[in-house]
């Protein structure tokens, strides 16, 4: 991997060309179509995170954040538009579902340019390449009986064992008691560059201040949609807070494979700031723009140029928005 990237994100022409080239290796339209098919082909919804709630809040940087990144968002408090969601394209998915990731998309707003992250409640993604993602989704498409073919999924998993890591991680943990009660990871490796043009590779994690999981009995007692009401009650008492932590890479840590996790307990971590979610917002506040974590990164924060799953996100999101609007 490249440790000191002198060109940051898509602000650098070379990085943009690399990102575009990788994104074209698999048709993003085919991936989005497969996402919708796997979720039941609902219309007017997102291809991923169809069920969710829009939010407003604030990000306050930690005193030492600017030493890691020159992004203006790490120099002063900025407003945030965010959205919690359930994974997948089914807007009727149960909040009790497992193994399903919970999602957290956010836009940290600044006049000089926004900073967008899309993170999930697991340290790894389900696939490492767009082609693998397409097949992962296709084998999960419901058949005439409304159910996916278990044998196809089993065969695919045997041939692609890394695609089982996320589900195994989620299955080993309780269902979160709240959207705000679980940690979220940006599964890609970012490069943070400061004003001295010193770069550090890191994975970003949003650490909940109030983690809580549900026991089996507690889960059985819940209705299929309880996260929205729980969040209203929680925010009526005060903001939901997350610390943004940069987990710093060491030599040998993979940066091009989002199915591979880093040993966090053995890595140095730096707190970049605190994200406070203060209120639920109208859906229109989140629907007006796409949360694009590839195109919307400021100078001082760069996504990976060697991770094809990062590259495919921007064109896939554009296809999803187009389908949702038509």
* Residue list for the binding site: 317
User: How many whole angstroms separate alpha carbon 211 and alpha carbon 194?
Assistant: 32
Please give the annotated binding residues for heme, written as ranges.
317
DSSP 306: S
User: How many whole angstroms separate alpha carbon 166 and alpha carbon 170?
Assistant: 6
For the chain, give the number of residues: 326
Report residue 61 CA to chain centroid gap: 20
Q: Judge contact between 309 and 133, C-beta under 8 A.
A: yes
Structure-derived torsion over alpha carbons of residues 7, 115, 258, 309, reported in degrees to the nearest 10: -80
Omega within 30 of 0 (cis) for the link into 16: no
User: How many whole angstroms separate alpha carbon 180 and alpha carbon 208?
Assistant: 7
DSSP SS3 for 22: helix
Instruction: Please report the beta strands in the chain, taking only residues with DSSP state E, as ranges in sequence order.
Output: 51-61, 78-86, 102-108, 115-120, 184-193, 199-208, 240-248, 269-281, 301-302
């Amino acid at each position: 991997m490249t440790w000191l990237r002198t060109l940051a994100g898509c602000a650098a022409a070379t990085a943009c060309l690399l990102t575009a080239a990788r994104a074209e290796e698999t048709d993003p339209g085919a991936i989005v179509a497969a996402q919708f098919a796997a979720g039941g082909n609902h219309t007017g919804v997102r291809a991923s995170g169809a069920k969710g709630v829009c939010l407003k809040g604030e990000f306050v940087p930690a005193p030492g954040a600017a030493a890691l990144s020159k992004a203006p968002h790490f120099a002063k408090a900025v407003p945030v538009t965010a959205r919690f969601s359930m994974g997948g394209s089914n807007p009727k998915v149960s909040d009790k579902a497992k193994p399903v990731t919970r999602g957290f998309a956010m836009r940290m707003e600044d006049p000089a340019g926004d900073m967008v992250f899309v993170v999930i409640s697991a340290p790894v993604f389900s696939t490492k390449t767009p082609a693998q993602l397409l097949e992962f989704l296709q084998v999960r498409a419901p058949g005439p009986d409304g159910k996916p073919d278990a044998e196809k999924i089993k065969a695919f998993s045997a041939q692609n064992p890394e695609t089982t890591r996320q589900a195994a991680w989620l299955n080993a943990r309780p269902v979160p008691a709240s959207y705000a009660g679980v940690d979220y990871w940006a599964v890609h490796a970012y490069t943070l560059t400061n004003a001295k043009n010193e770069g550090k590779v890191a994975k970003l994690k949003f650490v909940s201040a109030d983690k809580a999981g549900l026991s089996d009995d507690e889960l059985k007692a819940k209705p299929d949609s309880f996260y929205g009401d729980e969040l209203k009650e929680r925010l009526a008492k005060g903001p939901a807070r997350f610390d943004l932590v940069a987990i710093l890479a060491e030599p040998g840590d993979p940066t091009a494979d989002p199915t591979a996790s880093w040993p966090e307990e053995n890595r140095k971590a730096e707190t970049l700031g605190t994200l406070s979610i203060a209120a639920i917002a109208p859906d229109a506040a989140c629907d007006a723009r796409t949360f694009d974590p590839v195109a919307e990164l400021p100078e001082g924060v760069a996504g990976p140029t060697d991770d094809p799953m990062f590259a495919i996100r921007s064109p896939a999101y554009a296809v999803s928005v187009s389908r949702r609007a038509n």
